[in-house]
């Protein structure tokens, strides 16, 4: 068979970043921002996210919250993202975002309200420019591209702000993902996309989704620089997201970061991961989880001890109990609010339903 002579058109590399290995030992010199104070704060925020997650699952099991998606084992991704952003940047979240929301100033009560069915929880008091949680897979990446275009358009007379969005590995199999990053690449939008590769899109494993060696390489077709990081290393996540944001702020366009982690929980409280997730795989992943890793490093540096741990757990338990009391005693929203929060102008087809719901709520008040 004739074999034609071909010339190499282009070649690409995907880099991998890690600062702390699975034992909490540095793999290289840590960046300047990774001070003892900043890392102790990161540990606090990751532990808080884990405690909020655990309480939310218990609230759902007792009928006080709706379906809830835990971020167990992925706290370094959320905290790393939120801590790298400035208050003026715009976050376009998906649903597995407890750590990032807490970093953005969203209160625990607001998080509980969201999953308790009260849309007022999405009116973030300390992050008013951030978008509400997006449950449909990958659509938030399109929203983020639109926000990034608006920020770019408005940039003539103000410092550049950046849109940041996060999505699960399953989102990279959706057309919305490709459309958004293609647009961002062509228009050099100030956008940073983080892929939380927790290995499972509900019950579909990452290997069943794509034959790509990495998810980061999917950005190559869009002309976007990309990087794979250890998603259990909060230092690496923070560095990568901060680097992407600063690139975008300088007008150098978008970037994509794949943070490799593992979902140590069910997909949501409506799921049973034991039906499809091998127990041996999960047990191996538990040894890599982010809180233990950072704690080991802090202990090795002499800035953390069992006394620090006990004091922090007691402090956060009080924080959580106060938030829970506020959530339990908050006045309930009216049932017709489900229409009010959805429509700027109620479609005529819903007039009767709205009136019936309003009358029903008044009769039970």
Q: Indicate which residues carry an active-site annotation.
A: 263, 267, 276
Could you tell me which of 81, 87, 82 has the C-alpha nearest to residue 125?
A: 87
- Exposed/middle/buried for 283, CB within 10 Å: 0-12, 13-18, 19+? exposed
What stretch of H or E contains 259? strand 255-260
Q: Report the SS3 class of residue 273.
A: helix
Which contacts (CB < 8 Å, 24+ apart) does range 60-67 have? 60/115, 60/269, 61/269, 64/116, 65/112, 65/115, 65/116, 66/115, 66/116, 66/117, 67/115, 67/268, 67/269, 67/270
Q: Rounded to 5 degrees, what angle do the CA atoms 229, 136, 133 make?
A: 70
Hey, what are 344's tokens? 């700027």
Alpha-carbon gap, residue 95 to 171, rounded angstroms: 12
C-alpha distances out from residue 111 to 98, 155, 301, Å: 8, 32, 34
- DSSP 8-state symbol, 18: -
Alpha-carbon gap, residue 303 to 301, rounded angstroms: 6
């Amino acid at each position: 068979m004739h074999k034609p002579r071909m010339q190499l058109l282009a070649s690409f590399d995907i880099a991998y970043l890690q600062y702390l290995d699975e034992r909490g030992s540095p793999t290289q010199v840590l960046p300047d921002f990774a001070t003892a104070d900043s890392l102790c704060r990161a540990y606090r925020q990751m532990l808080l996210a884990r405690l909020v997650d655990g309480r939310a699952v218990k609230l759902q099991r007792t009928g006080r919250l709706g379906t809830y998606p835990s971020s167990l084992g992925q706290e370094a991704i959320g905290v790393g993202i939120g801590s790298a952003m400035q208050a003026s940047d715009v976050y376009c979240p998906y649903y597995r975002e407890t750590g990032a929301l807490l970093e953005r100033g969203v209160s625990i009560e607001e998080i509980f309200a969201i999953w308790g069915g009260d849309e007022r929880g999405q009116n973030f008091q300390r992050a008013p420019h951030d978008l509400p949680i997006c449950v449909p897979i990958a659509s938030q990446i399109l929203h983020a591209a639109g926000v990034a275009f608006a920020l770019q358009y408005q940039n003539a007379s103000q410092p550049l702000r950046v849109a940041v969005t996060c999505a699960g590995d399953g989102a990279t199999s959706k057309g919305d993902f490709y459309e958004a990053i293609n647009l961002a690449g062509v228009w050099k939008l100030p956008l940073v996309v983080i892929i939380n590769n927790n290995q499972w899109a509900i019950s579909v494993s990452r290997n069943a989704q794509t034959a790509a060696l990495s998810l980061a390489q999917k950005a190559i077709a869009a002309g976007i620089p990309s990087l794979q990081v250890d998603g259990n290393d909060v230092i690496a996540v923070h560095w990568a997201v901060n680097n992407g944001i600063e690139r975008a702020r300088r007008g150098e366009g978008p970037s994509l970061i794949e943070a490799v982690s593992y979902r140590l929980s069910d997909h949501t409280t409506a799921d049973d991961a034991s039906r499809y997730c091998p127990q041996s795989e999960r047990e191996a992943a538990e040894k890599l989880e982010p809180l233990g890793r950072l704690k080991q490093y802090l202990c090795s540096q002499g800035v953390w001890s069992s006394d620090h741990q006990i004091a922090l757990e007691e402090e956060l338990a009080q924080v959580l109990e106060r938030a829970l009391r506020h959530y339990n005693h908050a006045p309930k929203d009216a049932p017709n609010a489900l229409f009010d929060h959805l429509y700027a102008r109620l479609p005529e087809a819903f007039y009767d339903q709205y009136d019936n719901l309003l009358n029903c709520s008044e009769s039970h008040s």
